[in-house]
Amino acid sequence: MADNGIGWTRFPRGDAFFPEIRMTFREHAVPIVGITALLAWMEALLCFEGVLRDDVMYGGGIVHDPFFVGFALFGALGCATSVLVSRYADRPMASCALEGRPALYTAGVFGIVGTLGAALGVLCAESMPPWLSFACGACCGAACAWMLLRFCGIFAELDLRQTLVALMPTFSLQWAVMIVIPVMPLIVRPVFVAILLFVSIISVARSCGSDAEEHGTPVNARTAVRLFRMVAAAFILSTIVQFLITYFVHGIDVPLDPAAFSMLFFFVMVAVFAVFAMIIRIMNSMEGYRVDLFYRTFFVICLACIGSIGIARSWHVASYIGMYIAFSLMVPVLIILALGISAVAPLNARQSAGEVLGSMFLGQLVGFACAIALGSSNARLEGFIVLLCLMAVGIAYAFVFPESMLERMMPHVLKLERATLERRCEEVARRFELSPREAEVLAFFARGRDAAYVAERLTIAKSTVTTHRKSIYRKLGVHTQQQLLSVVDGEDLSLHER
C-alpha cells in the first residue's frame, strides 16, 4: 500500500485491494467478529426463513410475528432512550448507562433469554401464547439496539475508510450463518443463535469505544434539520422494504422451497460483498469518500424490490433474492450514513446512529403492520401498491433527503499534495499555538494515521498520543478527526458549527 498523504490509502495495483481487508481485519478483529455475530443473530431471528420458522404456518407466523412486533418496537424505544441519555444526561450517568459493563451484561442476559425463549417456542408453536413471543421479541429488540449502538461507538474510533473496509466482510459474512441454519437440527438452532449473541457480548467487553467521543454535544439548527431529514428518509425506506418483504411472504402465495434457502442466502451474501467491493474500489480510484454511492445503490435496489412484486408468481426465486438484498443493504447503508455525519458534524456516533437506526426499527414495525393489515394478495391492488411504494421511495430520495444534502453532510478527503499538507499543518500549529510535539502528532493525524501508528513512529506511549489528540481537538475546537482534516484543508466549518 502507498499513502498518498491526503488521508486516503491508495494501492499501487488494482488487485491489491484485498490485502487492505486482511490488514484491517487483523488490526480490528475483535469488533469485526463481534458485529458480524450480532448481525447474524439478528437476521437469524428476523428473517422469515430463520430459526423462528415453524412447521405450523409458513414463515414462522405463530412465533415469528408477535416476536417481530416486540423486537421492532423495543428496538426503536431502545434507540430513542439511548439518544435521550446521550444528549441530556451528564457524562458519568451516560457513560454508565451506555458504555458500562453492567449495561452490557444486562443487555446480554435479556438478549439470550429472549432468544432461547422464542427459538425453543418453535417446538411448541401451537401452544405458545402470543404475549410470550412478544415479550421475547421485546427483550431481544432492546438488547439489539444497545449492542448496535455500542458497536457504532467502537467503529467511530476508526477513520471512515477503515470503517468501510471493516464493514464490507461483516455485512456479507453475516449471511453465511443463514446458509447453514436450514440444515441444522431444530433443537440445535436456539443454542447456536444464543452463542452468536454471546460472542458479540464478549467482543464488546474486549473492545473500547472512542475516548474522544463526548456526550451532550450541542447540535446547531442546520445540522439538526439535516439529521432529521436523514432520519425521515431512513424511516420511509425501511418501511417500504419491510412492507414488501412481509407482503411477499404473507400476501402472495408463492412459498419458497426450504431446500432453496441456502442457495438464496448464498446469492445474497455474494451480492452484498460485490456491492461493497465495487464502491470501495471506486472510492480508492477517485481518492475520495463517495458515501453517496451506497445511498444510490440502496435506492436502486429498493426500486428493483418494488418491481419484483410484478414477477413474484412467475419468478419467485429472483424476487426473493431481490427482497433480501434490499433488506441486507438497509442496515449497513444506514450505519454508514450515521457514522459519516458523526465524522463531520459535532455530535457523537451513538446519537446519530441512535436516531437513524431507531427510525429503521420504527419503519420496520410500520411496514410489517401495514402488510399484515392488508392481508392476502389481491391482484387488483398490486398495481396500486407498486405505485404508492414507488412514489414514497421517490419522494424520500428526491425531496426528503436528496443526494445534494447527503454530499454536504458526508466527509470528503483532503485535496492536498504532501508538501502543501505539511505547510498547512505548520500554519495550523502556529495559528492555534500547538506545542512542537502536538504539531508532530497533528501532521500524522492529517495524513489519516491512527494513534497506534503515531505512537510507533514517535516512540511514545499510545496513551500519550491520546492525550496530545485531546489537547489538539480542544485547541482547534473540533470533535472528530474529519473535522480536524477540514481545518487543515482550510474548509469553512460553519456548516457544522462547533
DSSP-assigned states of every residue in 296-312: HHHHHHHHHHHHGGGGT
User: Is 417 found in the same domain as 393?
Assistant: no
The amino acid at 492: D
The range of the structural domain enclosing residue 430 comes to 413-489
What's the rounded Cα separation, in Å, for the pair 319 and 105?
40
Q: Which residue has the cell 410470550?
A: 132
* 251 lies in the same domain as 378: yes
Integer Cα distance of 288 and 489 in angstroms: 14
Instruction: Report CA 222 to chain centroid distance, whole Å.
Output: 24
Q: Which residue's C-alpha cell is 429488540?
A: 141
CA gap 473, 413 in Å, rounded? 19
Are 382 and 264 within one domain?
Answer: yes
What pLDDT tens digit does each residue of the chain (498 aa) get? Answer: 344 333 344 433 444 445 556 666 777 788 888 999 999 999 899 988 788 877 766 556 788 889 999 999 999 999 998 888 877 766 656 565 566 778 888 899 999 999 999 988 888 877 788 899 999 999 999 999 999 988 888 887 776 667 777 777 788 888 888 888 888 888 888 899 999 999 999 998 887 544 444 444 555 677 778 888 889 999 998 999 899 888 887 766 666 777 778 888 888 889 888 888 888 778 777 766 677 888 888 888 888 888 877 776 667 777 777 778 888 888 888 888 887 777 666 567 778 888 999 999 999 999 999 988 887 666 677 788 888 989 999 999 889 988 878 777 665 544 444 455 677 788 888 888 898 888 888 888 876 666 776 887 788 888 888 888 889 988 888 877 767 777 776 654 443 333
Residue 240 CA, distance from chain mean position: 18
CB 119 within 8 A of CB 190: yes
| Claim to verify: residue 162 and residue 298 sit in the same structural domain | yes
Cβ-contact 319, 308 below 8 angstroms: yes
Residues 235, 339, single domain; the answer is yes
**Domain final position from 401, 427, 446:** 401
**351 and 469, same domain (yes or no):** no
Assess if residue 128 is contained within a domain: yes
Indicate whether 308 and 431 sit together in one domain: no
Residues 312, 422, single domain; the answer is no
163 domain residue, yes or no:
yes
Q: Are residues 373 and 424 in the same domain?
A: no
Check whether residue 151 and residue 275 sit in a common domain.
Answer: yes
Predicted model pTM: 0.78
CATH number (domain holding residue 436):
1.10.10.10
Last residue within a domain, chosen from 401, 427, 458:
401
Asked whether the beta carbons of 287 and 412 are under 8 A apart, the reply is no
Domain count, the chain: 2
Residues 351, 465, single domain; the answer is no
CA distance readout (Å), 402 to 275, 283, 290: 21, 20, 15
- Alpha-carbon distance of 380 to 237, in angstroms, equals 24
415-428: b (≥16 Cβ within 10 Å) or e: ebeeeebeebbeeb
- DSSP class of residue 9 equals E
C-alpha grid cell, residue 435: 506545542
Check which CATH number belongs to the domain holding 130 and give it.
1.20.1250.20
Q: How many residues does the chain have?
A: 498
Q: Which of 186, 157, 118 shows the shortest CA–CA distance to 31?
A: 157
Grid cell for residue 396? 424520500
Residues 161, 243, single domain; the answer is yes
Other beta carbons within 10 angstroms of residue 1's beta carbon come to: 10
**CA distance from start to end of the chain:** 35
Choosing from 366, 401, 436, the residue where a domain stops is: 401
